């Protein structure tokens, strides 16, 4: 069949990116090397773009002085807290909207109005309400992340619902069990995708609110170092935040694979 | 093998044409294997063969879209190195431009060739009438049925009036009635404008009815199994209406060649899909 | 009339929320130091509009947003398509994109301030650097995903390989590119406000933050409402534009 040629083509396409990713490792090393040389030879301003090796030295120094890990830990904990809170609120509200007409009626215009607006603008309000400490940072991030998550969960669950009602009526029995199973079979992948997309966003917002408020956290460390024109420390902070975000994104991918494997297995028995 | 024959001028000449596709982590797929074929000027040549035997691949090489792995293809004695407006093609899956309306799709080639506006409008109107899509001029392809899309694809290719028409199952998506009408239309155009037509079909009856010669290909790797002259089956006087008891006999003759190949192709399919699953 | 009723019913929760806000503050359920009455916020919004304080700051912000966003779109589309079509461009930029991908660009603000100094160029750069990635990636993926039969058709009808980019690749990739740009649009507003809060000469984000710091809470709320409204309207306008540009698209 022609589908043959098509499927062959798709397998090849799917393999191309991994090949590129493999290549990318070398090219990233190459970029770092070029940066190192350019900075050392003052081809680029070594004050603004200190060589990567100096950044490594700076990172080690800060770690030994106990000035890096506490900041990273604070940022990580806040981000994880905000993400978990956003999942709890976003997923349950999304499901409630899909299943209960009154909830849908009330929240639909709020979500569609709030989704495209920049929630960071609410920062002064959150400071006014919750002060300068952990709460305002975590709550603002939770609030901002909840919107896309509610929307993703609502869409995923709503589309299941028709099928669910239809088959529940046909079979008559075990409705609750089936609700659980059907929702999980169909909605979980989309909900997980929603969760995965808010992860980097949560990190950015936590770092940003830290930058706006001082205290402990990578954002505060970055801002303070910036005021002292200590660019190596700023860049170490930025890289630290990138690594944290990257690690949690990877963790999300790993958990997704685990959850979906488990879920495939259970559906196989059905 | 009587693939290389005929007294007329040769329009398309294929010599030892082979196409290998590299597939990662698997042996190369040989889609076309050592095909020798001469298509005469103004000939209507049909290619039949089991699914996946390399018919489309061969057509794409004549079109200049794919390079030959071995051998060569000559058109008017010149080696094919790439696509050209001398060879128009109708793809199996139409490949209409979804962002252009029916009219704009048909106009596309005329605009690219900088045909004068009055002329290109006239040509387009004529072709839209020909394919029976009046009233659909300003509609986007998404609003058309499969058969309508196919007709637009044919009109779009006819618009640039190429010397050679390459058609990959051009009537595959049409209902039976439209199919007969379009077949007769193809014959009419072919008689009128004298084109060399190379077309792939799964419909053996259609092949016999339309073509001067029918090439039967083997299961993959595609080779030429037989070439059957269908002219003798056509009613001698009527150029446009080709129905005769002879046709049924020719169809049978071709099916005799084809049967084993189709069975073989199906076995290949089963093997390769189970291999893919494991 | 019936349609109007349906719309009114749909947006009724917003109205209810505003009424609840007003009443809760007026009757002392919530302290006005915490949340000024809606009517007070609306009054301030009106006064700030008349005094041109709000329009001026908004104008400054919109200029920055428009410049940063347009630059991100133009450069991002060019780079994404270039990477998809030209191997040399792909090899040159792929590692940069890979490195850039996880970096929270706003965190580079302190460095950018030192390099660029305060001024519009600072916000424009933050928006450009922070929002270009979705454009690059969507343009790259869309241009790579263009059905090669479309290109083959065009070639056989006389389109030269050089013109293929304009005639086929760009229109065929447009749906993918436009959906990436929608993400960038939302992101550009976040970056605008964030970078103005971090440090700027004027602009609605800076105005809102300083209003809050000075205890001018009705002004703060008025500014925030304005930002939200602008972001929302921009998104709706963009959606309408997409719908027009992509009316040909076949959505299954
Ligand atoms: N780009 C490609 N990469 C790998 N294999 C390919 C590629 N294109 C085609 N093939 C393989 O080459 C063989 C011939 O394909 P082709 O499309 O020419 O068959 P076909 O005779 O036109 O089939 P159908 O009648 O179903 O249209 C098939 O087995 C197909 O899987
Ligand atoms: Mg084919």
What are the sequence ranges of the domains in chain C? 52-251
**Least confident piece of the model among A238-242, B136-140, B256-260:** B256-260
Nearest protein Cα to ligand 1, atom 29: B52
Contact present, A147 and A115 (Cβ < 8 Å): yes
At A166, the pLDDT band (50, 70, 90 cuts) reads: low
Give me the percent of chain A exceeding a pLDDT of 70.
Answer: 78
Mean pLDDT of A116-142: 90
Q: Which helix (H) or strand (E) holds B271?
A: helix B245-277
Mean pLDDT of B42-49: 93
CA closest to A3 among chain B residues? B52
Mean pLDDT of C34-61: 92
Which among A78, A116, A245 is the top mutation candidate for probing chain C, defined by the most C β-carbons within 10 Å of its own β-carbon? Answer: A116
Mean pLDDT of A160-179: 63
Nearest protein Cα to ligand 1, atom 8: A5
C-alpha distances (whole Å) from C64 to each of A21, B86, C110, C200, C224 are 35, 52, 18, 11, 18
Q: Is the pLDDT of residue A169 over 70?
A: no
**Least confident piece of the model among B119-123, C67-71, C114-118:** C114-118
Residue A126 or residue B233, greater confidence: A126
Cβ-count burial B70-96 (b if 16+ within 10 Å, e if not):
ebebebeeeebeebbbbbbbbbbbbbb
Pocket-testing residue among B17, B21, B91, B215, ligand 1, by greatest number of atoms within 8 A of Cβ:
B21
Which among A35, A109, A118, A226 is the top mutation candidate for probing chain C, defined by the most C β-carbons within 10 Å of its own β-carbon? Answer: A118
Q: Tell how strand B87-90 and strand B164-168 pair up.
A: parallel
At B124, the pLDDT band (50, 70, 90 cuts) reads: very high
Q: Is B23 helix (H, G, I), strand (E, B) or coil?
A: coil
**Least confident piece of the model among A19-33, C12-26, C93-107:** A19-33
Q: Does C84 touch chain A (CB under 8 A)?
A: no
**Which residue bears the tokens 């609410």?**
A122
Q: Does B21 touch chain A (CB under 8 A)?
A: yes
CA closest to A235 among chain C residues? C108
| All chains having 3 or more CB pairs closer than 8 angstroms to chain C | A, B
| CA-closest candidate to residue B114, choices C163, C158, C164 | C158
Residue C4 or residue A219, greater confidence: A219
How much distance in Å is there from the Cα of B169 to the middle of ligand 1? Answer: 14
CATH no., domain C52-251: 1.10.3720.10
Q: With a 6 A CB cut-off, is B21 part of the ligand 1 pocket? A: yes
**Least confident piece of the model among A3-12, B15-24, B167-176:** A3-12
| pLDDT at residue A184, as a whole number | 65
Q: Does C221 touch chain A (CB under 8 A)?
A: yes
What is the Cα–Cα distance from B164 to B176, expressed in whole angstroms?
26
Whether residues B51 and A5 touch (CB distance < 8 A) is answered with: no
Q: Does C108 touch chain A (CB under 8 A)?
A: yes
Give me the percent of chain B exceeding a pLDDT of 70.
Answer: 91
Q: Does A12 touch chain B (CB under 8 A)?
A: yes
ipTM of the complex: 0.87
Residue A132 or residue C209, greater confidence: C209
Interface A:B, Cβ pairs < 8 A? 23
What is the Cα–Cα distance from A80 to C246, expressed in whole angstroms?
39
CA closest to A103 among chain C residues? C13
Residue B20 or residue A157, greater confidence: B20
| pLDDT at residue A164, as a whole number | 62
Q: Which helix (H) or strand (E) holds B75?
A: strand B70-75
Q: Is B221 helix (H, G, I), strand (E, B) or coil?
A: coil
DSSP string, A246-262: HHHHHHHHHHHHHHHHH
Q: Would the CA dihedral through C167, C168, C171, C176 be positive or negative?
A: negative
| pLDDT at residue C154, as a whole number | 95
**Least confident piece of the model among A135-144, A168-177, B157-166:** A168-177
Q: Does C155 touch chain B (CB under 8 A)?
A: yes
Nearest protein Cα to ligand 1, atom 24: B51
| pLDDT at residue B277, as a whole number | 41
Whether residues B112 and C157 touch (CB distance < 8 A) is answered with: yes
Q: What's the pLDDT tens digit per position in B216-263? A: 998 888 889 889 888 877 765 555 455 667 788 888 888 888 888 888
| CA-closest candidate to residue C204, choices A145, B273, A120 | A120
What is the Cα–Cα distance from B68 to B81, expressed in whole angstroms?
9
Q: With a 6 A CB cut-off, is A11 part of the ligand 1 pocket? A: no
**Residue B113 C-alpha, separation from nearest chain A C-alpha, in angstroms:** 32
This prediction has a pTM of 0.84
Q: Is the pLDDT of residue A9 over 50?
A: no
Q: Is the pLDDT of residue C75 over 80?
A: yes
Whether residues B91 and C149 touch (CB distance < 8 A) is answered with: yes
Give me the percent of chain A exceeding a pLDDT of 90.
Answer: 34
Q: Is the pLDDT of residue A10 over 70?
A: no
Q: Is the pLDDT of residue A208 over 80?
A: yes
Q: Is the pLDDT of residue B191 over 90?
A: no
CA closest to B169 among chain A residues? A2
| pLDDT at residue B235, as a whole number | 64
Closest Cβ–Cβ partner in B21, B29, B51 for A1: B51
**Which residue bears the tokens 């609120």?**
A89
At A262, the pLDDT band (50, 70, 90 cuts) reads: low
Q: With a 6 A CB cut-off, is A64 part of the ligand 1 pocket? A: no
Q: Which CATH number fits domain A61-269: 1.10.3720.10, 1.20.1250.20, 1.20.1440.230, 1.10.420.10?
A: 1.10.3720.10
Could you tell me the two tokens for C54? 């709000």
| pLDDT at residue B276, as a whole number | 47
At A19, the pLDDT band (50, 70, 90 cuts) reads: very low
Q: With a 6 A CB cut-off, is B23 part of the ligand 1 pocket? A: yes
Residues with CB under 5 A from ligand 2 (ion): B 56, 92
Nearest protein Cα to ligand 1, atom 23: B52
Residue A261 or residue C99, greater confidence: C99
Mean pLDDT of C120-126: 94
What is the Cα–Cα distance from C145 to C85, expressed in whole angstroms?
11
Mean pLDDT of B182-199: 85
Whether residues C168 and B82 touch (CB distance < 8 A) is answered with: no
Q: In chain A, where does DSSP find H-type helix?
A: 2-40, 52-64, 69-99, 101-114, 123-130, 134-171, 175-213, 218-227, 231-269
Q: With a 6 A CB cut-off, is B2 part of the ligand 1 pocket? A: no
Mean pLDDT of B91-113: 93
Phi, psi of B39 (to 5 degrees): -110, 125
| pLDDT at residue C151, as a whole number | 94
Q: With a 6 A CB cut-off, is B170 part of the ligand 1 pocket? A: no
What is the Cα–Cα distance from B167 to B87, expressed in whole angstroms?
10
**Which residue bears the tokens 């094919």?**
B80
At B156, the pLDDT band (50, 70, 90 cuts) reads: very high
| pLDDT at residue B90, as a whole number | 94
Whether residues A208 and C194 touch (CB distance < 8 A) is answered with: yes
Which among B91, B95, B96 is the top mutation candidate for probing chain C, defined by the most C β-carbons within 10 Å of its own β-carbon? Answer: B95
What is the Cα–Cα distance from C38 to C31, expressed in whole angstroms?
13
**Residue B50 C-alpha, separation from nearest chain A C-alpha, in angstroms:** 9
Closest Cβ–Cβ partner in B23, B51, B56 for A8: B23
pLDDT averaged over chain A? 81
Mean pLDDT of B87-100: 93
Q: What's the pLDDT tens digit per position in A182-205? A: 676 778 888 888 898 899 889 999
What is the Cα–Cα distance from A219 to A221, expressed in whole angstroms?
5
Q: Is the pLDDT of residue C77 over 70?
A: yes
Q: Is the pLDDT of residue A14 over 60?
A: no
Whether residues A12 and B29 touch (CB distance < 8 A) is answered with: no
Q: What's the pLDDT tens digit per position in C16-27? A: 999 999 999 888
Q: What's the pLDDT tens digit per position in C168-211? A: 999 999 999 998 899 899 999 999 999 999 988 889 999 999 99
| pLDDT at residue B243, as a whole number | 62
| CA-closest candidate to residue A78, choices A70, A88, A67, A68 | A70
End-to-end C-alpha distance for chain C, whole angstroms: 32
| pLDDT at residue B58, as a whole number | 95
pLDDT averaged over chain B? 86
Q: Does B25 touch chain C (CB under 8 A)?
A: no
Where do the structural domains in chain A lie, given as residue ranges?
61-269
């Amino acid at each position: 069949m022609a589908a043959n040629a098509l499927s062959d083509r798709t397998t090849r396409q799917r393999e191309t990116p991994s090949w590129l990713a493999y290549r990318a490792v070398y090219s990233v090393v190459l970029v770092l090397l070029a940066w190192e040389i350019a900075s050392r030879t003052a081809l680029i301003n070594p004050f603004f773009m200190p060589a990567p090796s100096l950044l490594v030295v700076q990172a080690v120094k800060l770690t030994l002085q106990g000035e890096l890990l506490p900041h990273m830990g604070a940022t990580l904990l806040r981000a994880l807290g905000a993400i978990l809170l956003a999942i709890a609120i976003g997923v349950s509200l999304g499901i409630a909207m899909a299943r209960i007409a009154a909830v849908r009626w009330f929240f639909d215009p709020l979500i569609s109005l709030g989704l495209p607006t920049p929630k960071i603008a609410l920062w002064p309000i959150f400071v006014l309400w919750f002060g300068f400490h952990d709460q305002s940072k975590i709550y603002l991030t939770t609030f901002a992340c909840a919107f896309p998550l509610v929307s993703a969960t609502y869409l995923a669950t709503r589309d299941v619902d028709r099928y669910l009602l239809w088959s529940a009526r046909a079979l008559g029995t075990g409705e609750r069990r089936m609700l659980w199973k059907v929702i999980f079979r169909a909605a979980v992948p989309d909900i997980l995708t929603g969760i995965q997309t808010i992860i980097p966003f949560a990190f950015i917002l936590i770092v940003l609110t830290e930058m706006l408020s001082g205290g402990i956290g990578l954002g505060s460390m970055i801002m303070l170092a910036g005021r002292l024109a200590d660019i190596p420390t700023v860049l170490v902070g930025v890289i630290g935040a990138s690594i944290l975000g990257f690690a949690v994104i990877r963790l999300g991918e790993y958990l997704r694979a685990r959850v979906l494997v488990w879920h495939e297995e259970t559906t196989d028995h059905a | 093998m009587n693939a290389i024959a005929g007294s007329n001028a040769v329009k398309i000449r294929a010599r030892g044409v082979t196409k290998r596709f590299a597939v990662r982590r698997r042996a190369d797929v040989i889609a076309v294997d050592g095909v020798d074929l001469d298509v005469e000027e103004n000939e209507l040549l049909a290619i039949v063969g089991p699914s996946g035997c390399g018919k489309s691949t061969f057509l794409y090489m004549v079109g200049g879209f794919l390079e030959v792995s071995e051998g060569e293809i000559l058109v008017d004695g010149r080696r094919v190195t790439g696509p050209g407006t001398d060879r128009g093609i109708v793809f199996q899956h139409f490949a209409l431009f979804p962002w252009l309306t029916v009219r704009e799709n048909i106009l596309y080639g005329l605009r690219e060739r900088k045909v004068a506006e009055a002329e290109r409008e006239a040509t387009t109107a004529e072709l839209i009438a020909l394919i029976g899509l009046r009233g659909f001029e300003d509609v986007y392809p998404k609003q058309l049925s499969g058969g309508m899309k196919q007709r637009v694809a044919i009109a779009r290719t006819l618009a640039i009036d190429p010397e050679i028409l390459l058609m990959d199952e051009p009537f595959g998506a049409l209902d039976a009635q439209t199919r007969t009408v379009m077949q007769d239309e193809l014959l009419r155009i072919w008689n009128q404008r004298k084109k060399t037509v190379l077309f792939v079909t799964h419909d053996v009856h259609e092949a016999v009815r339309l073509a001067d010669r029918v090439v039967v290909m083997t299961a993959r790797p595609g080779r030429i199994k037989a070439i059957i002259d269908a002219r003798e089956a056509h009613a001698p006087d009527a150029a446009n209406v080709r129905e005769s008891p002879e046709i049924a006999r020719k169809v049978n003759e071709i099916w005799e060649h084809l049967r084993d190949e189709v069975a073989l192709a199906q076995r290949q399919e089963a093997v390769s899909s189970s291999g893919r699953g494991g | 009339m019936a349609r109007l009723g349906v719309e009114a019913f749909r947006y009724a929760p917003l109205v209810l929320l505003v009424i609840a806000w007003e009443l809760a503050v007026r009757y002392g359920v919530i302290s006005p130091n915490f949340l000024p009455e809606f009517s007070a916020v609306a009054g301030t919004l009106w006064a700030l509009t008349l005094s041109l304080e709000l329009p001026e700051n908004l104008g400054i912000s919109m200029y920055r947003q428009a410049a940063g966003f347009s630059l991100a779109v133009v450069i991002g589309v060019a780079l994404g398509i270039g990477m998809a079509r030209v191997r040399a461009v792909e090899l040159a930029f792929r590692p940069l994109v890979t490195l850039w991908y996880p970096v929270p660009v706003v965190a580079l603000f302190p460095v950018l301030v030192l390099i660029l100094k305060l001024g519009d160029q600072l916000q424009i750069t933050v928006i450009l650097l922070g929002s270009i990635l979705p454009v690059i990636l969507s343009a790259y993926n869309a241009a790579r995903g263009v059905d090669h039969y479309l290109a083959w058709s065009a070639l056989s009808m006389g389109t030269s390989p050089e013109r293929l980019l304009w005639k086929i690749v760009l229109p065929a990739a447009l749906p993918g590119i436009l959906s990436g740009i929608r993400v960038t649009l939302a992101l550009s507003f976040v970056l605008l406000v964030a970078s103005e809060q971090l440090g700027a000469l004027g602009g609605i984000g800076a105005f809102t933050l300083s209003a809050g710091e000075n205890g001018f809470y009705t002004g703060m709320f008025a500014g925030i409402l304005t930002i939200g409204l602008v972001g929302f309207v921009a998104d709706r306008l963009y959606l309408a534009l997409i719908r027009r540009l992509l009316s040909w698209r076949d959505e299954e």
